[in-house]
Structure 1
């Protein structure tokens, strides 16, 4: 029988690929609304000023998902295509490890599990911003879900034999 973390990851592995089939207009609506609500306080405090007038592309390579993100007058905006200054790319498990704080961001980038291309100074500023965001900004149920799923990914990674 699967433990709850393994079950959560199995469900995620089945559901996440469906996101790539969701029309971009719906993705944009859901992401913009959610991100602006979740990060209202850091946006008001100008924590995202590094993105003001610049575009970041986030690519979840294994799911074939990508979004361009900018900050415009203390609001996050999402686009399908934009003249990006920097791209951060990785697989969904690495982004989950980053979001759940199960893995140090520097480790993920140093091991090239997450990759920054383009304006690396901006990419590092964004990485530091992500790392500085307070998990208490998230609803408690969402933070708990992220932590459980991230712990499952971290546990599965430790169980993998080292490449030989």
Structure 2
């Protein structure tokens, strides 16, 4: 019998790709505001300075969505397109496993479930940065939700292994 987390993950397949129909201006506003709140402390500590003047593209292949991210004087900034230095690409469940710490980042990259293209030194620096961020910086309920869904995704994965990211 499926539990609620399994149902939400199954619903993600057909529902999440609809996010690409949300106007980029709305995505940008929501994501920048979320990053400003979630990453205020690491930003102040200079942890994101590795992105200053550099552009990271995050592609969620199975959703058909991508964002370009940089660090400027104001903070983290999103763009629809930019002269990208590095791209990290994968499917949404791989990013969920990464965010929920259910899968080691090195394992995801080694198995090519997440792919780094371009400036690999910058990509590895970003990977290490993400891995070093303290989940306690998130609102507790958000971290609980991400952890809960990530654990369910990990359990599903053990039954049916994920496919590598396509590009």
Q: Distance in 1 between matches of 2:124 and 2:162?
A: 28
Q: State the TM-score, normalizing by the size of structure 1.
A: 0.95
Determine the structure 2 residue equivalent to 1:70. 70
Structure-2 separation of matches of 1:32 and 1:62: 22
Identify the residue that residue 91 of structure 1 maps to in structure 2: 91
Alignment CA distance shift 1:116-1:4 (3 Å): same
TM-superposed CA distance for 1:14, in Å, is: 3.6
- Name the SS of the counterpart of 1:58 in structure 2: strand
TM-superposed deviation, 1:16: 1.1
Which residues of structure 2 form unaligned runs of 5+? none
1:29 aligns with 2:29: yes
Q: Which runs of 5+ in 1 are unaligned?
A: none
Moved over 4 A (4+): none
Structure 1 residue 5 displacement after superposition: 1.8
Query: How far apart in 1 are the matches of 2:9 and 2:64?
Result: 18
Mapped contact 1:60–1:89 kept (Cα < 8 A): yes
Q: Deviations over 1:83-133 (max 9, x none)?
A: 010000000000000000000000000000000000000000000000000
Residue 162 of structure 1 deviates from its aligned partner by 9.7
Question: 2:101: which partner in 1?
Answer: 101
Measured in 2, the distance between the counterparts of 1:68 and 1:139 equals 25
Residue 54 of structure 1 aligns to a residue in which SS? coil
Q: Does 1:156 align with 2:134?
A: no
**Contact 1:38/1:138 (CA < 8 Å) preserved in 2?**
yes
CA 1:124–1:3: 2 relative to 1, 3 Å: same
Name the TM-score, length of structure 2 as normaliser.
0.93
| Distance in structure 1 (CA, Å) of the matches to 2:22 and 2:74 | 27
